[in-house]
Amino acid sequence: MEKLKKFLAYYKPYKKVLFADLLFAALASMTVLAYPLLVNQITKNAISDEGIDIALVFKMVGIFLFLMVVEYVSNFYTDYFGHAMGAKIESDMRKNLFQHVQKLSFSYHDNARTGQLMSRITTDLFDVSELAHHGPEDTVISLVRILGSFIILLSINWVLASATFLILPFMFIFAYRYSIKMKHALKKNKERIADINAQIEDSLSGIRVVQSFANEDIEVDKFRSSNHRFLESRKKGYLVEALFYNGLTGFISLINISVVIAGAILISYNQLLLTELITFLLYINTLIDPVKRLVNFTQNLQNGVAGFERFMEIIAIESDITDAKDATELSNVKGSVEFVNVSFQYASDSNYVFKNITITARPGEYVALVGPSGVGKTTLCSLIPRFYETSEGTIKIDGTDIKNIRLKSLRDNIGIVQQDVYLFSGTIKENILYGNPGATDEEMINAAINANAHEFIMGLPDGYNAYIGQRGVKLSGGQKQRISIARLFLKNPPILILDEATSALDNESERVVQESFEKLAKNRTAFVIAHRLSTIKSAERIIVLSEDGIAEEGTHTKLIENNGIYAKFYKMQFDQL
């Protein structure tokens, strides 16, 4: 009932359309019920041994034509406006699901598969759209036709009607039991096709790695396995479907046979006229049509229910990082960042990534974080914009606990440049404007100039309107980094995080990117995670992290003089050079 209430809530903005849709569906059903009565009038009253009553025939034809117009208008409304309503509901659900997924934390996305989510956002919701349209409509059509047929059949001959309707309860029980089996089969199909989508997304996203290792056969084998599981699932679904539909066809045939046999017996005892049997058989077809519609509706219902259940599974997931009730906006940010006894562990892991970290970055200070892989440098910085939540301790910006700051306001004031820069499919202009969609072209160009990106952009055939491909594949690593820095110049945040942004670049690209980043970091609080220690010599403070927490802290010169862990790392890199 809870799921039903949530599903029905999506009809609220379209109540008028839904009401009209059901009204026209009922109207179309009543016109269909009237046709056999008109045929009965013609065969019973217009045709006799004395000839044909032309006036009555023309009258009946006129009524026929009027009913045809009513049926056409009614069916047109349900076909077009009803389907449009279903599509709007699907669109609303897709928007809600996408917005919800966007708000879920990194902890969720670390474990989620993109292909699975894509399947739920697209294929599953299409089935829900069909249910949203056909569900109420088919129910009304079936009820009107079945009830109307039942009343008319009783008025023709109650004995014959009873013989017919005695079979229907068994038919509906059969349909209900197999519809449940179909629901499970259809839900399994959706899970399997989602697995295939995830496999395709994973393989195509890593196509360069696949081809560089010449491992196309491995990917084909992985796809063949998931594709085979889907095939087996489909076959089981088709088995249930075949038993379901053929069983119902058998019941329909049984109804027709029982009517013919019972009718023949009644005619032989002069308890039924041949014209009445003809009318009765016409109404049997009128009765069977909504029964068939209910059968088809059963598949739409189970498809839609399975899709809606998978939709609700995601909607029901609550983000572990949300705004506090009394959360405030950040204003006039100076840029002081404090870590007070901060510890962190992943939810599924009992081991701490780090414990009791205490750091204070003054406004405008350039702080570098170094240390071996796995000590939590990136994770530590990811706690500042609350991509993850601290397990223990507090992080403050300008003295305010970040948990008491609205997420959007917090993240609006933090800029991040990552090692693996993500650029969206589109133009350079669109990617730079992502930092501030309302910026002018002049502001965008100034941001690119400050990021040392303007010169190479103008060297491209279409300049700022150059299409850069999926994830920016048409650009070099250094070019992508400079665009990401231009994006941050446009955003203009008071706090920066640079996560090993130059570690994968050649020396020339590193020099250019480093120069542009130093421009960006000027008068801002900056946290720099460094792999190449040569890039952080000018840092006001270098913090060396180890598995036991903060091992060393100081300037480059001081740490070299101390001849500790930092000096060891630096000498190793110097010797390699």
The mean per-residue pLDDT over the stretch 365-374 comes to: 87
pLDDT tops 90 at residue 234: no
| Cβ pair 417, 488 in contact under 8 A | yes
User: CATH 3.40.50.300 spans which residues of the chain?
Assistant: 322-413+538-577
Q: What is the mean pLDDT of the chain?
A: 82
Give me 219's structure tokens.
Answer: 């990917």
Nearest CA-CA partner of 146 in 292, 6, 22, 276: 292
pLDDT tops 60 at residue 577: no
Which DSSP symbol is given to 328? B
CATH class (in words) of the domain with range 88-315: mainly alpha
Cα–Cα separations (whole angstroms), residue 2 to 5, 14, 305, 309, 486: 5, 20, 13, 11, 49
pLDDT tops 90 at residue 341: yes
Q: Which fold has domain 322-413+538-577?
A: Rossmann fold (3.40.50)
pLDDT digits (tens, 9 = 90+) for 171-228: 878 877 877 787 778 778 877 877 787 777 777 766 756 765 667 787 788 788 888 8
User: CATH 1.20.1560.10 spans which residues of the chain?
Assistant: 88-315
Q: Sort residue 398 into left (φ over 0), alpha (ψ -120 to 50) or beta.
A: left
Nearest CA-CA partner of 190 in 96, 127, 273: 127
For 349-354, the CB contacts below 8 A with 24+ separation are 352/391, 353/379, 354/379, 354/380, 354/545, 354/549
Helices (H), 416-555: 428-433, 441-450, 454-458, 477-491, 507-521
What's the confidence (pLDDT) of residue 214? 67
Share of the chain above pLDDT 90, in %: 11
pLDDT digits (tens, 9 = 90+) for 502-547: 555 556 666 776 777 777 778 889 898 877 777 787 788 999 988 8
What's the confidence (pLDDT) of residue 337? 93
The mean per-residue pLDDT over the stretch 281-291 comes to: 73
Residue with tokens 């405030």: 328
| C-alpha atoms less than 13 angstroms from C-alpha of 397 in its C-beta half-sphere | 28
